[in-house]
Amino acid sequence: MSSLFFFSRLIISLGTFLALTLNAVPRPHGSQLFPRIESLPDSYGALGLFLCAIILLVVFSGLDLKITKKDFPCLLASSLITFLALISDSFAQYSSFRGITFSFSTILIFFLKFGVFAFWGTIFVKAALRFSKSFFEMENLQGTSVSKELVKYFVFSFLIIFLAWLPYYIVFFPGTPTWDGLTMINSAAGFWPPSNHHPYFFSCFFALVLKLRFWIGDENSFACLSGILFLFEILLYTISCLLIRISVPTLRQWVYFLFPLFFALVPQFPLYAQAIMKDGLYASSFALFSSTLLALVMVTKRQKNNNVGLIVLFFISAFFLCFIRHNGIFVVVPTALFLIGYLGLQKSKSCKPLVMSFCLLLFLVLSSNYYLKNVLHVKPSPTRETFALLGQPIAKAWMENKHSFDASMLKEMEKVFYDSEKILTDYNPQLYDPVKHQIRKEASPKDVAQLAFKVCKQFPKSCIKGLISHSYLYFYPFANNNVMAPFYWWIETGAPNIGKFKLQYTFSSRWRERVTNYGYIWVEKMPFSFVTRPYLPTYLAILLGVLIIFRRSAAGMILVLPIFLTLTLNILSPVNGDFRYQLPLLAVVPMMILWLVMFGQEGSTKVQKKILLTRA
């Protein structure tokens, strides 16, 4: 080992150790060299030491640490992720840029950490893509054995998920009617005025099943409803795993079994599956939608035949997304339009039936909205629910610059808000509800947008801080949302219609608390929290997006489109980093990792072909 090699690697390892240490050790109070930063969890420091040990092994192992021109996509994605994570780190501590701009030393530390983490992020992505080559292995998939293998895989996937989830259903029997679930039941059953705040037709399904209470009692009717949701979600996840295997038949056999194991082991899936609410079923429908999209794209590459079965699955999953949650239409329509265009360019016979099914879906959505409004006279969803990305920056600017608002802006504030003074006391940077409840019901989107434009033009820094404070948890691995719990089970004193139903759980609350606390471990303790927190799908999406753009893959852009649309809708949602909104993206994490491997392999194959052609 040459002295130049040794000292260069020593400098890299020392710089990395310094950056990790500065990021993990709490700063002393009142120090001028380092600003005071609240103590991070012990797991953060443990992670830093663990990474240091791994990095030292990698550094002195002789691995090529050079970043070449072909590594630029990985470097760009790693730099973007690092930048967002470090900005989020500052907002996690101060809700501002103070952790970066406090002094000259903090600025230097920021650039040190940025350089180190961006560099190692690139190296680790390169190493992961290189290691993933061993996952790909061409196999003989011809003959009748194919169908038998697929049937075995389907049965295995269903059973492993069912058996892993069954204890959750038993402990929480007859199911957890959450606040939103009971609100849906109240609206459709006539206990409250009918409202489309939650999709009314899906609420009617809840109420229809619960009509069985007049014959079999409250507990059994709730058990039927939760059981239907429970089994249906298992079925959707199982079909999703099967479609992944059909789409990419060249993986090693053991890799396919990781997909159902992921759904079986992560407790957030069964906790939401047994709950009477829309979020669990929406997440499983999104997984089916994404896997069907993958199957349509990959099968079309191999053959141009008419894949009627996949078209039917695509229509069913798209229908569920649109009728389970209002936001689903904003995911389905752009994705379907791009998919139709792609299949048309590929001259696939699946294009025409896809167009027909898409037109049918639009007809069902539009006609149902007309029927709700003009025939059933169901109260529409309030528009102020969608103003989070405008309301939070306005509130932040109002708090920091109240006395700098001119007369015209104050007049606009009175036009939009009932009591703007109450925002000063109730404002929560992670929760839009305190601002939402002060927005007048008659305020139009145009009024709110005009006010936001004027305020942000006058106070851009405050608006940027308000925007980041409302969304940074989607980019930050070391913090959870402290407003909404990852999962709520039945709260006897807080249910909105406790007088309407009488439920007696089979197990005592002590057992339910233990199971719920186990679920909390997966969002609070390392290393489990690195799988379930909202940042992971965001980082994977950024890596995928950058790789796909540089690979110029139209198919890849279609595959990641619903993920980016869902992520955008999550950022627009009223709660920063809420696990209910995170669940659909968590459900496609295994698929995103698979796509990352696929596009990484595709890129390396193209590079190898160019090298061979050049040598020839």
| DSSP line for 42-62 | HHHHHHHHHHHHHHHHHHTTT
Domain boundaries, the chain: 3-134, 136-380+487-604, 383-470
The strand pair at 275-276 and 176-177 is best described as parallel
Distance between CA atoms of residues 307 and 313, nearest Å:
10
* Amino acid letter, residue 366: L
pLDDT at site 120? 78
In the predicted model, residues of the chain with pLDDT beneath 50 are 1, 26-46, 138-145, 491-494, 607-616
Nearest alpha carbon to residue 476 among 31, 63, 83, 134 = 83
pLDDT at site 28? 41
Count helices and strands in the chain by DSSP H and E runs: 29, 2
pLDDT at site 193? 83
Distance between CA atoms of residues 430 and 137, nearest Å:
46
**In the structure encoding, which two tokens stand for residue 456, read together?**
């942000």
Q: Cα dihedral sign for 525, 531, 536, 540?
A: positive
Q: Cα dihedral sign for 563, 567, 569, 575?
A: positive
pLDDT at site 43? 45
How far is CA 299 from each of CA 50, 74, 126, 285, 308, rounded to the nearest angstrom? 42, 28, 28, 21, 12
pLDDT at site 59? 58
Distance between CA atoms of residues 184 and 195, nearest Å:
9
pLDDT at site 284? 93
How far is CA 143 from each of CA 16, 147, 149, 386, 537, rounded to the nearest angstrom? 53, 8, 11, 53, 37
Q: Pinpoint the alpha helices (H) of 403-444.
A: 407-416, 420-426, 433-436
Those residues whose C-beta lies under 8 Å from the C-beta of residue 73, and which sit 6 or more positions away, are: 546, 547, 549, 550, 551, 603
Nearest alpha carbon to residue 388 among 569, 611, 527 = 569
Those residues whose C-beta lies under 8 Å from the C-beta of residue 493, and which sit 6 or more positions away, are: none
Those residues whose C-beta lies under 8 Å from the C-beta of residue 478, and which sit 6 or more positions away, are: 40, 41, 44, 89, 92
**Crossing angle (nearest 10°) for helices 104-131 and 589-615:** 70
Three-state SS at 345: helix
- Cross-strand bridge partners of residue 177: 276
Those residues whose C-beta lies under 8 Å from the C-beta of residue 371, and which sit 6 or more positions away, are: none
Those residues whose C-beta lies under 8 Å from the C-beta of residue 409, and which sit 6 or more positions away, are: 451, 454, 455, 458
Q: Cα dihedral sign for 521, 522, 528, 530?
A: negative
How far is CA 196 from each of CA 76, 362, 430, 569, rounded to the nearest angstrom? 43, 18, 25, 19
Q: Contact at 8 Å (CB) between 249 and 139?
A: yes
pLDDT at site 142? 42
C-alpha dihedral over 192, 193, 195, 199, to 10 degrees?
50
Those residues whose C-beta lies under 8 Å from the C-beta of residue 223, and which sit 6 or more positions away, are: 173, 174, 175
pLDDT at site 236? 94
pLDDT at site 317? 92
Residue with tokens 């002060």: 438
Compute φ and ψ for 480, nearest 5 degrees: -115, 160
Distance between CA atoms of residues 430 and 396, nearest Å:
11
DSSP 38: P
pTM for the structure as a whole: 0.85
Long-range CB pairs of 413-417, under 8 A, 24+ apart, other chains included: 413/451, 415/440, 415/443, 415/447, 415/451, 416/440, 416/443, 416/447, 416/448, 416/451
- Cross-strand bridge partners of residue 379: 195
How far is CA 103 from each of CA 29, 85, 106, 114, 275, rounded to the nearest angstrom? 15, 20, 5, 17, 49
Residue 31 burial (CB < 10 Å; 0-12/13-18/19+)? Answer: exposed
Three-state SS at 486: coil
**In the structure encoding, which two tokens stand for residue 76, read together?**
């760009």
Distance between CA atoms of residues 178 and 188, nearest Å:
16
**Other Cβ atoms within 10 Å of 614 Cβ, number:** 7
